[in-house]
Structure 1
């Protein structure tokens, strides 16, 4: 246990120290007060053991991996694991080529809470190593040329087509996304993440490096966490742009809180999450702890609801993740039909986007986010990608939905100098 004098310097050194290794994870709550988070930030580095899955039985393989090691594990689930859960396919082009699932037992694990650093795995002297780590002079990433897979007209045309599916009664809501990308992109991932985390600090931010593949995330959304016998999910549906004028900003917040369209989007997903949680819950224990909570982040206000249940101990906790995956906020309702339409109308494979990363503790507690507002980068192929989207309902205005996508992309575009 150690109390660093300068916490932000220790955090920065810890990230750069971890980045020396082939594999590392850095998860940062950015000092958002959250009743469910076990730590303020946590750093996992170097591989004691790893699991890489690209086809079939990923959840069962993860169960076996966890059972064998009974230790802290860190990693991610890609959105396309949906194909193992339901009769679905992913045939859209994929420029990133991340594995479908990756988890590792770290050699070093440092957790930080209430001003104190603690070594959970590895030798105690690692804290001193971090303190003494010399930060290299920053290399500036140049401006990255960003392209869009869809033109504004194409996007609007697809949204109108999805609205016609809603009118026909195929679905109530669908989360429709578009890709921004860059080929031959060269970035310094760790510095790019630091800039993103500075411009857009969020409660589930993270830096994930897996053999030259990177997730640089400023996500504000929790997918699912387990604390003891309680499962909690916090879907986001509802977004409003912030104002620099305080009175105006407060008015926007109140307007979002009472916006009937945003509430309708949110409550559809709350119902879907309640349904997903019942599969893992003690009967009758699913509750909505907060409906339409408004939370503020640097670029946007968001409408967030909190749903929880008592976890049924007869169910394996990894099945609880599987039972709720992919998260309803990124699919729509009904879930399976929405995912079929996503595959039909989107033009890029989602991969890790709208999947989840996080960690599982030795006693089976876990915390996983939703991979949105995130830069994905394959250093070997120099392919950089980020996707943005939103909920399409019958009330949706296609042109306004397009503007909301650009708002959600604004922090990343600023970071990349575009």
Structure 2
């Protein structure tokens, strides 16, 4: 068979919604927050290319080289490909211990200046907005885990940890608990999915608002890919920083988003979306 060559020059990346539409949606969502509908909502947008003729394995290898991340994966289901460079763990179970590590808080790196890069890490740690977003999701995850963990066992192992990745610094918190040995994967998933970092709080209401305001169906984006061992241990990621590709329709897309609070600046949120897509854009351009 003849391999498909990656023809970058044929890719024209378009946004599903305009910047103006995005900014207006943020303002509307902040009105919902102001009126007590929710505290925080993760709002996402799609970028896409039609008539995209790519070799998915080749593109995944390039993405992994530009942005090596601990929860990356290459996944194929029939005509659909997922090229994922995720930095985020959704949930892991090892024996009776279960942990979740939501990411909330992002700042760009300055890889050319080590001193400046350290200052950016400190800036993220000192950001009241990012700490506020992070702690809201930590509370949501604690609540989710308490549904399936032994009473009194859920704890926050690390709050506001700053971790460095190729393009960005991220704020990551770690929450853990102890589950009964006979609890099954379906019960755990039912209590915890969709993950709080990709929804917001309270979860039920923000899912309704997501359906109302987002212009693209998320599909596998903000979903999860992982494995379950014969011993019933498992580890699953959060599908972010990912390219979705339909080989038959030659439709390529990626989605990016961020947590919106009452104090969010809509223009800064838009720029954060572009920052999160930096590695993907570099591979595709």
Deviation for aligned residue 1:139: 3.8
Distance 1:137 1:350 in 2: 29
CA contact 1:292–1:304 (8 Å) conserved in 2: yes
Gapped regions of structure 1 (runs ≥ 5): 1-19, 21-135
CA contact 2:3–2:55 (8 Å) conserved in 1: no
SS at match of 1:384: strand
Distance 2:86 2:182 in 1: 32
Q: How does 1:312-331 map to 2 (within 5 A)?
A: 312-331=180-199
Match of 1:396 among 261, 264, 280: 264
Q: What's 1:344 paired with?
A: 212
Please say if 1:304 is aligned against 2:193. Answer: no
Deviation for aligned residue 1:212: 2.2
Q: What's 2:87 paired with?
A: 220
Deviation for aligned residue 1:182: 1.2
Distance 1:165 1:138 in 2: 47
Match of 1:167 among 24, 34, 53: 34
CA contact 1:239–1:300 (8 Å) conserved in 2: yes
Q: What's 2:21 paired with?
A: 154
Q: How does 1:8-407 map to 2 (within 5 A)?
A: 139-143=5-9, 144-243=11-110, 244-407=112-275
The number of equivalent residue pairs is 283
Q: What's 1:34 paired with?
A: none
> Which has the larger Rg?
1
Higher relative contact order (CA 8 A, sep 6+): 2
Distance 2:8 2:137 in 1: 40
Distance 2:102 2:205 in 1: 19
Distance 1:137 1:157 in 2: 44
SS at match of 2:225: strand
CA contact 2:74–2:84 (8 Å) conserved in 1: yes
SS at match of 1:336: helix
Distance 2:204 2:182 in 1: 26
Distance 2:185 2:28 in 1: 39
| TM-score, with structure 1 as normaliser | 0.66
Q: Which runs of 4+ in 1 moved over 4 A?
A: none
Distance 1:311 1:141 in 2: 49
SS at match of 1:402: helix
Deviation for aligned residue 1:410: 1.2
Deviation for aligned residue 1:314: 4.5
